[in-house]
Amino acid sequence: MAKIIDGKAISSQIKDEVKEKVAELAAKGISVSLAVIQVGADPASSVYVRNKKKACEYCGIKSLSYELPEETTEEELLDLIRKLNKMDDCNGILVQLPLPKHINEEIILDEISPLKDVDGFHPMNVGALSIGKPGYVSCTPAGVIELIKRSGYTIEGKECVVIGRSNIVGKPMALLLLRENGTVTVTHSRTKNLKEVTKRADILVVAIGKPRMIDASYVKEGAVVIDVGIHRNEDNKLCGDVDYDSVEPIAEAITPVPGGVGPMTIAMLMKNCLTYFDVAK
């Protein structure tokens, strides 16, 4: 029986810590604010954005809401970002992805000031992470590190295997595990003998984007297994990239879906809203 890593409880703890720090800043006359920009009305994005705003409210962070029509041009969006970059009373900027097809995501994300880049997607922040300098770290992989550490597991010296190499999860995940002194291997869709590699892992982080692909045959007995995936199965129920029922009996610990990594992303976003006061000094 694996220990079930409770992302809901850990994320609540983090939000409470943020709330306390926001109150301390408020007592010094400093207000924390986050601009949340959504272009169009993609239903999944609307749910995420609503949850982000709710978390802001809980933590005492002022959310500046920009709900722009689908037809917004790239130039209009760039103008808004430039305005927010200069605004003293805005210290975080988040552009919800995906953007409509006519807008180039890379151009938009590159325009966000690296000092207000709460998603940690700007090349300056990605570069800072890769050479161990302070900066914003992408929320989901940062949340995975918190889940592992706050559940009492050490990363130092452990064999850590990441499945997936996306810019948002896999790559920053590998860099963060390395920063924690793990021995890190990154695997992906072209990896040969994937099982041989994943079976070495003391800590296995799965972000491959394929429902329930990773069963017990990929996992070493006693591994800590973190599932970043989220999908709907044939019964419309949520599931991850890990076949939970197969892996749970042999793992030391495992994150459920839902209730594992998912809630951590927003909690780390709230935490990142405080980073401005460190990096912008």
CB of 71 to ligand GUN, least distance (A): 20
CA atoms of 7 and 241, how far apart (whole Å)? 16
Considering only the stretches 9-17, 58-66, 74-82, 95-103, report the one whose residues sit in contact with ligand GUN under the rule CB under 6 A. 95-103
Residue of 77, 94, 161, 197 interacting with ligand GUN (CB under 6 A): 94
Nearest to ligand GUN of 143, 211 (CB atom)? 143
Q: CB under 8 Å to 196, separation ≥6 — which residues? A: none
Place of tokens 């161990």: 132
- Token pair, residue 86, equals 């200069």
Residue 224 found at the interface with ligand GUN (CB under 6 A): no
Residue 95 found at the interface with ligand GUN (CB under 6 A): yes
Angle (deg, nearest 10), helices 262-272 and 139-150: 110
Residue of 119, 241, 243, 248 interacting with ligand GUN (CB under 6 A): 119
CB of 194 to ligand GUN, least distance (A): 25
Residues labelled as active-site residues: 52, 96, 119
Diameter of the chain measured on Cα atoms: 57
Provide the H-helix boundaries in the chain.
7-27, 43-59, 74-86, 105-111, 123-130, 139-150, 170-179, 194-198, 244-247, 262-272, 276-279
Residue of 25, 64, 78, 97 interacting with ligand GUN (CB under 6 A): 97
CB of 138 to ligand GUN, least distance (A): 7
CB of 273 to ligand GUN, least distance (A): 13
Q: Which residue is nearest to ligand GUN (CB)?
A: 97
Residue 96 found at the interface with ligand GUN (CB under 6 A): yes
CA atoms of 41 and 100, how far apart (whole Å)? 10
CA atoms of 37 and 66, how far apart (whole Å)? 5
- DSSP, res 202: S
Residue 139 found at the interface with ligand GUN (CB under 6 A): yes
Give the residues lining the site for ligand GUN (CB under 6 A).
Answer: 94-97, 119, 139, 265
